[in-house]
Amino acid sequence: MKVTAIETIRVGEYPSILFVQVHTDSGLIGLGESCVGVEAVETFIHESVAPRLLGQDPLEINRIHEVLHQDFIGFAGSGVAVRAASAIDFALWDLLGQETGKSLNQLLGGKVREKIRAYNTCAGSGYAKGSSNIDRNRKAQIGTPDAAEFEDLLAFLNEPEQLVASLKDMGFTAMKIWPFDEAAMKSGGQTITPGDLAEGVDIMRRARSAAGDNFDIMLELHSLWSVPAATIIANAVEEFSPFWIEDPFKNEATDALVRFRRSINSPLTVGETTGTRWDYQRILSSGAVDHLMIDPGWCGGITESVKIIALASVYGVPVAPHDCTGPVVLTVGTHLGMSFPNIELQEMVRAFYYGWYAEMVTTLPRFKDGYLIAPEGPGLGTALKPEVRNRKDAMIRWSKVE
């Protein structure tokens, strides 16, 4: 089997998503995905990845992984080169599964569990339409809601009691919210006023009161804060037993992570925007984190995710794959969650899952009673819907064997 073409598809309505299809001379097509800064990723794929991938055997995944991670620049972090390699890696594993007739979790050694617990990240329908990836203020994050239900960002800000009840009705046992982002916009994240602190704490209080003890609440801080301000917030919400405090500030500041963790009692997680095992080694060896997040679409793909998951197990740190990005990442994360014992739960956004995700791909992980189950088909078990390429707002680019 040889790679004959690489096709990239962007969709105007959802400008933060890029689909990648790796075509072969056998007729099999592997599916990949990237999110955020996708025009740059697309350009890098066609200018830098395609010349090294066209004409190659796509089943030589380890060799291709090494080649794509030996760029002169971009071999660490979650920059354009790493995200491009991640999308390609998804597609190669998908092709391997299709060629062998095995699902991704079978290729990874088989299942350790039949399903993985899901938590709902409380975004809404407007969150996927561009601005929330650039501007963290509430107006940008909310966007223009267009769904009849699952406007969960508005709900956690205004009606956390109803939100919790709705999630429980669907079987969820955990959710993630970010009531302090607007305060960070006001101060640049350096300080937080008593009034802004009280507003966010009140949302946490109402959510915990409605949730009771058998429902987990994650607090997302989106890397917006200074260490002193994040410490004030973490200590103020401690009484509500957050499952974790997530990404209080840029985790590249390892010493700051250590100092912060020593100043709070709540568990800490970081990692969704971190790239490759070298960055994760730095974080894990600091001893500052209680949980670890990975985004397979930003950390180097399935191949690199497996290495990071194994590394985390050595430190006794459970892993939670990220998804507030796209349907392929959710599918990959669910396969990983069913394959590795130290993965504790999988993020999902029900507003996306029951909204635009279903518009893009043929099959999604099955959600039932608060758990996700990976597709059973070969490879990823899903494919891009043909109608996506025929949309009026679809932007398609090819690199082909001459």
Q: Which parts of 61-159 fold into alpha helices (H)?
A: 61-68, 80-100, 104-107, 138-142, 152-158
Q: What is the mean pLDDT of residues 160-178?
A: 98
> Residue 74's pLDDT band (boundaries 50, 70, 90)?
low
pLDDT above 60 for 160: yes
92 with 126, same domain: the answer is no
Is residue 378 a part of any domain in this protein? no
- Do both 312 and 294 map to the same domain? yes
Q: How many domains does the chain have?
A: 2
**Matching residue, tokens 């989106």:** 222
How far is Cα 8 from Cα 154, in angstroms, rounded to an integer?
33
Q: Rounded to an integer, what distance in angstroms lies between the CA atom of residue 206 and that of residue 191?
A: 24
- The pLDDT of residue 147 is 67
For 104-140, write each residue's pLDDT tens digit. 999 999 999 999 999 999 999 888 786 445 677 778 7
Residue 20: inside a domain, yes or no?
yes
Task: Tell me the angle at which helices 276-285 and 254-263 cross, rounded to the nearest 10 degrees.
Answer: 40
The pLDDT assigned to 139 comes to: 80
Taking the C-alpha atoms of residue 260 and residue 249, their distance in angstroms, rounded to an integer, is 10
Dist. CA 52–CA 311, nearest whole Å: 29
* Residue 241 pLDDT greater than 80, yes or no: yes
Count CB neighbours of 16 within 10 A.
Answer: 21
Q: Are residues 44 and 154 in the same domain?
A: no
Give the residue-averaged pLDDT of 371-399: 98
**Do both 197 and 298 map to the same domain?**
yes
The answer as to whether 270 is a domain residue is yes
**pTM of model > 0.85:** yes
Task: Give tens-digit pLDDT for 49-73.
Answer: 999 999 999 999 999 999 998 876 7
State yes or no: pLDDT of 42 exceeds 50.
yes
CATH classification of the domain holding 145: 3.20.20.120
Residue 128 lies in a domain: yes
Verify that 27 and 147 share a domain, yes or no. Answer: no
Q: Tell whether 348 and 387 lie within a shared domain.
A: no
pLDDT at 107: 98
What pLDDT is stored for residue 38 in this prediction?
94
**197 φ/ψ angles, rounded to the nearest 5 degrees:** -60, -45
State the residue range of the domain holding 176: 106-373
Q: State yes or no: pLDDT of 76 exceeds 80.
A: no
Residue 326 maps to a domain: yes
User: In a 3-state reduction of DSSP, which class is residue 194?
Assistant: helix
Residue 274 and residue 343 share a domain = yes
Give the list of residues 6+ apart from residue 348 with CB closer than 8 angstroms, or none: 118, 119, 120, 121, 323, 330, 367, 372
Query: Rounded distance, CA 121 to CA 320, Å?
Result: 13
Instruction: Please indicate, yes or no, whether residues 249 and 327 belong to a single structural domain of this protein.
Output: yes
Residues 308-349 have pLDDT tens digits of 999 999 999 999 999 999 999 999 999 999 999 999 999 999
If phi > 0 it is left, if psi is from -120 to 50 it is alpha, else beta; for residue 348 that is: beta
Q: Are residues 115 and 258 in the same domain?
A: yes
pLDDT at 184 over 70: yes
Would 160 be classed as within a structural domain?
yes
Gap between the Cα atoms of 41 and 53, Å rounded? 16
CA 307/CA 325 separation, integer angstroms: 22
Per-residue confidence band for 75, with pLDDT thresholds at 50, 70 and 90? low
- pLDDT for the residue numbered 117: 98
Q: From residue 79, how far is each of 162, 327, 388 by CA, in Å?
A: 39, 21, 27
Distances (CA, A) of 213 to 174, 216, 217, 309: 11, 8, 10, 29
> pLDDT tens, 359-370?
999 999 999 999
Question: Do 32 and 115 have their domain in common?
Answer: no
Q: Give the DSSP H/E element, type plus range, for residue 218.
A: strand 216-220
Query: Which residue intervals of 212-285 are DSSP H helices?
Result: 227-237, 254-263, 276-285
Q: Is the pLDDT of residue 24 over 50?
A: yes
Which CATH number does the domain housing residue 76 bear? 3.30.390.10
Residue 133's pLDDT is 58
pLDDT band at 187 (very low <50, low <70, confident <90, very high): very high
> Quick one: 118 and 239 in the same domain?
yes
C-beta separation of 299 from 305 below 8 A = yes
Instruction: List the single range of 89-98, 132-141, 161-170 with lowest mean pLDDT.
Output: 132-141
Residue 200 counted as domain residue? yes
Are both 166 and 237 inside the same structural domain?
yes
Q: Does residue 295 fall inside a structural domain?
A: yes
Q: Which residue has the tokens 């350096």?
A: 190
